[in-house]
Amino acid sequence: MEYRRLNGSGLFVPALTLGTGTFGGSHGFEGWGHTGTNEAARMIDMCLDAGLNMFDTADIYSRGLSEEILGKAIAQKRNKLLIATKGTFPMGDDPNSKGASRFHLTEACEESLRRLGTDHIDLYYIHGFDSNTPVEETLRALDDLIASGKIRYIGCSNFSGWQLMKSLSISERYGWSRYIAHQVYYSLLNRDFEWELMPLGIDQQVGTVVWSPLAAGRLGGRYRRNCPAPEDGRVARGGAPVRDNIVSYERLYNIVDVLDELAEETGKTVAQVALNWLLQRPTICSLVIGASTEEQLRQNLGAVGWTLTPEQVKRLDAASRTQKPYPYWHQDQRPEFSSQLF
């Protein structure tokens, strides 16, 4: 397994992280999967044997059940791995059971620690920007949690560029801990991340952790032109965090055509090629791979240990490129001012 430094910190993380959104399967996550404790333990052993030692969850996944299953599955193994979890989204009907306030984050962190059966969380994410809470309140609360030893590093997820930059500026102003990671959606099918958030990550040394790198399974090789969508896939089950209304299936099929060619050239699977392309992009530190079965996990682990050639990367770049919105297309007219980024 390849390990990469999480930009802006001294922490090294594996190029692949196991996402545990499939653990549990309740409270709105039925379509994601129904992995129980025993299968989860076997998957974790498979990951550790392959050198994958980081596991990603969130309190909202199956209303805490994902964290509970992960906690049971890693019993006696805690010192061998890194745990990342998230808070912010609603955990109940009480108005204080959501958001990024000091009140909620303190309680959310304590509850995550209890469910995970651990005394610390290695990387704690704000799952989404809370415009109702002052950014200063959020960051001071997180800084206090770090000082108490309950969390070690902080990250954010699904922020826009201005939200992340404002947060980094406030952390710098007051000398508080800063976000070292941004967990985002990014794939060959949707490359919007490159327009604003990737240059920001380069400039501000914020590492990128990618969720749904296969676009909710659409880049796994089972979605093909003139073929019905798989009935047992996440999209059909209602467990796709990447909605159909942002997907161009004609573009998807064009991308899969190139993935097929490269899979034949490399002797790898379509999914492995799609993941390997992402691992060569700037700021990418780790890809959160999900798996509903042990065989699927085994295949996803094969995305590392080899590299696409520059020519093969260019072919995927061309197949997946889309027209940028303003002001990015206008900025591209002056490449001499942006070439220093990537």
Under 8 Å between Cβ of 306 and 337: no
| Stated length of the chain | 342
Query: Rounded to whole angstroms, how far apart are CA atoms 214 and 17?
Result: 14
Q: What angle do CA 54, 55, 60 make, to 5 degrees?
A: 150
- Find out whether 56 and 18 touch, Cβ atoms under 8 Å: yes
Transcribe 57-97 into DSSP letters. Answer: --TTGGGGHHHHHHHHHTTT-GGG-EEEEEE-S-SSSSTTS
Q: Any residues with CB less than 8 A from the CB of 149 and at least 6 apart, and which?
A: 119, 120
Tell me the one-letter amino acid at 76: Q
C-alpha span between 265 and 122 (Å, rounded): 39
| The token pair that represents 65 in the structure block | 């059940």
Residue with tokens 């089972």: 222
Give the position of tokens 């309680």: 107
- Look up 61 and say whether it is catalytic: yes
Check 61, 125, 153, 185 and give the catalytic one. 61
Tokens 């805690």 correspond to: 78
Catalytic positions, written as ranges: 61
